[in-house]
Amino acid sequence: MSRALAIPQLKKRAYTMTAGDLLPVENCTAACVYVAHPKPEAYHVWTGIFVHRFIEYAQREGVKYAEGWLRTKTGTAGLRAQAIVAKLDVESLPRGEAEVELVLDARDGKVNTGTYRDAHHDRHVYMRLDLAYEEDGRTSGLDWKTGDREYDVAREPQFQLGALALWLLNDTPVAVNFHAVVLAQDCEPRWCSHTFVRAELEQIQRRVRMAHGKMRMARLEILKDKRLDQIEYTPGAHCQTCRAKPACPHAWKPEDVVEDIKRAFDPKPRIDWAAAPFRGGFIQTQPLWRYGGPKIGGGR
């Protein structure tokens, strides 16, 4: 953790909290206040958007209509999306209400349908679900994913908050199902699922309320009182979904961990010969090993 003054590449803004902000806000004070200047979406993001739209159009207007629409997307993202849906059996996928936008009041726990613009940063949490539907009489939510990774639905904030919103919107039923459905080229859809029970959802609700409260307090202390020297930066895995990551000099990177592991298990500590001071003909230095090690040579 470190403290720093204002960073020119970042801008202070009171934004509305979403699922992606939960971990950064919980772990880093700066994440409550700072955002980076927006950058164009990467092509893999557009691939997911095109796949989402294809499924929505295929279920609503028919597969032929959806295929014709997708053929107009000729860039890298469009071609990848076409390859993913080429053998997709749309009829086997669940049907429901697509692109559900929900606004959660972090203080009183009420949920209403609404867009991001309907939410107020000082009170609300915004969520969007790819699909909401009934599954064997139980409220269920679903998120389409492109790629090849596995998703731990029970632990990832995006799915936790989606399940919480559905639970509150439907008068707190006994349980809520949530699925991440992975769609990849030449593969059957892979389902990663979890059933959230009441105790889990109540705990998630308390967590969201605490995180939102922390964010409000940080903004009162930093933005209104101008206490810029009190901003704390705490790098970690939560940086991956932080709004400030593209321009934050303190942002954690996965390669940092790789380097730590390499150094920890390096059987031959490396010596910085150029920086090594000589004392009585012997080298007196420390190996470039973050976790320490014996000194090389004698010295006085």
Adjacent-strand bridge partners of 35: 11
Does the pTM surpass 0.95? The reply is no
pLDDT for 291: 39
Angle between helices 63-70 and 43-60 in degrees, nearest 10: 150
For residue 285, the model assigns a pLDDT of 41
- What is the model's pLDDT at position 127? 95
The pLDDT score that the predictor gives to residue 258 is: 56
3-state secondary structure the chain: CEECCCCCCEEECCCCEEHHHHHHHHHCHHHHCEEECCCCCCHHHHHHHHHHHHHHHHHHCCHHHHHHHHCCCCCHHHHHHHHHHCCCCHHHCCCCEEEEEEEEECCCCCEEECCHHHCCCCCEEEEEEEEEEEECCEEEEEEEEECCCCCCCCCCHHHHHHHHHHHHHCCCCCEEEEEEEEECCCCCCEEEEEEEEHHHHHHHHHHHHHHHHHHHHHHHHHHHCCCHHHCEECCCHHHHHCCCCCCCCCCCCHHHHHHHHHHHCCCCCCCCHHHCCEECCEECCCCCCCCCCCCCCCCC
Pairing relation of β-strands 138-146 and 124-135?
antiparallel
Domain-by-domain residue ranges, the chain? 253-300
* 255 backbone dihedrals φ, ψ, rounded to 5°: -65, -20
Q: What's residue 250's pLDDT?
A: 84
Residue 254 pLDDT: 67
Chunked into runs of 10 residues, the chain (300 residues) has average pLDDT values of 59 90 93 81 82 95 96 91 93 94 94 94 94 94 90 96 96 95 90 96 96 91 64 87 87 66 54 45 41 42
pLDDT at 11: 81
Residue 95 and residue 107 in contact, taking contact as beta carbons nearer than 8 Å: no
Q: Supply the pLDDT for residue 186.
A: 81
pLDDT in the model for residue 224: 67
